[in-house]
Homo-oligomer: A and B are copies of this chain.
Amino acid sequence: MSQALRVGVAGLGTVGAALISQVAHRREALTARCGRGIEVVAVSARSRGKDRGFDLKKMKWFDDPVALARDASIDVFVELMGGSGGVAKAAVEAALAAGKSVVTANKALLAKHGVKLAALAEKNNVALNYEAAVGAAIPIVKTLREGLAGNEIARIYGILNGTCNYILTRMEQEGLSFADCLKDAQRLGYAEADPTFDIEGHDTAQKLSILASLAFGTKVDESAIYVEGISSIAPADLAAADELGYRVKLLGVAVKTPQGIEQRVHPTMVRKDSAIAQVMGVTNAVTVDASGINPITLIGPGAGGAATASAVLSDIADVARGLRVMPFGRPTAKLASVRKAPMQRHEGGYYIRLQARDKPGTAATIAKRLAQQEISLESIVQRHRKGAPESEVKGGSVPVILITYATSEDAVRKALAAVGRDKVISGRPQVIRIEKN
């Protein structure tokens, strides 16, 4: 039996505390699996005195995580501090440069500096594992990096943010407004006091940038992602989606197109009978479309101390077993730059909800503008004032809901701009892309 793997952990929040508890509880099984023990021998955190429910005395304490990262007493450095730069980056770099493998749950760091850090890991022949950074306990990083090595991936998409899915689920199931659901999510701890990062799609974008790199062998490039959040979604959209056989989910989507790789985060209509549409509440899910076979979907807890820690621990176990794969599945030198498919060239079906002025000729005007852009309609629902629910009739306007056949983003934008100039609608049109699945 080899010597135990000595682990240093920087960051002792909920994930760090759960990790230390799991390492203790799973000692025997981990030793059997890895052929050696796993021991947390050193830690670093903001406050030494805080009661975390376990005894820090057996572990070496570091005020400075960077000092911990390069300390000779550890074999692997676990970064659980968070943040896209600063001390997290400095500590990870220090560990890699000192020839220590790194395990991190830090999506922001990887989205911003993933390629550079991967190159540093490669140069030093050490591992950089980050299963917990995307989808927490869902083993999607390993699945893309190793499990689907035999597959050519055409598209990957997922529900990567539990806060948004929780809000959309409650809006759909209870007919509540976005604002009310957000408040509830904040009260229950599912959303931050400043929820912008989650609800405007940036958290999803960071995770998507990592998945896209793993799926397509490209450099992580968050800036190549088109991002829209869910704050404009209204109960009327969810009700209309339901009637039409869809659900609305905030998806991160990366897809190969003839124009390059399209990466986008936006509210999306998905068919109710798809696996991803069934995913409710804070649960996450990722679907992988590989060439020539039916889709593969992974569903599971995408956040939480125990779920995140279990993924971190599996990454540590890989290090203990001596399994090492290039951080993005291939040498960084072979990662291609993203050829970004422009969003204007995006093609697909669209859901469009307009508040149309209730006067003769409105429908004809809208239809004409769509026809001018060669947009064909799969369905159009216009409720007349009498038939429309009271709530939908606003100062002489009625809702019109259009579903288009596949068309381009550019055509939709141009058509709606023209409709706007025609002054036949009030307010901003609501546009939700439909994802085939």
Contacts and interface: CB of A to CB of B under 8 A. Distances in A.
Interface of A: 22, 25-26, 29-30, 32-35, 131, 137-139, 142-143, 146-152, 217, 273, 275, 278-280, 283, 290, 292-301, 304, 306-307, 309-318, 321, 323, 325, 329-331, 334
A310 B288 CA distance: 13
Contacts of A35: 331
Given A293-B310, A301-B293, A334 B32 contact: yes
A337 to B, nearest CB: 15
Contacts of A314: 146-151
B331 A32 contact: yes
Contact of A33 (B307, B313, B330): B330
A310 B137 contact: no
Contacts of A283: 294
Q: How many copies does the complex hold?
A: 2
A280 B292 CA distance: 19
B146 A318 contact: yes
A299 B301 contact: no
Given A143-B147, A149-B318, A217-B32, A310 B297 contact: no
Q: Which of A26, A278, A318, A331 has its CB near the most chain B CB atoms (within 10 A)?
A: A278
A299 B275 contact: yes
Contact of A297 (B292, B294, B300, B318): B300
Nearest to A137: B293
A29 B307 contact: no
B150 A309 contact: yes
A123 to B, nearest CB: 15
A139 B149 CA distance: 11
A313 B22 contact: no
A68 B29 CA distance: 38
A47 to B, nearest CB: 25
Given A294-B300, A301-B293, A29 B152 contact: yes
A142 B146 CA distance: 9
Given A139-B148, A150-B312, 15 more contacts: A22-B150, A25-B152, A29-B152, A32-B330, A33-B217, A139-B147, A139-B296, A142-B142, A142-B146, A143-B147, A146-B314, A150-B313, A275-B299, A278-B278, A297-B297
A224 to B, nearest CB: 21
Contacts of A296: 137-139, 298-301
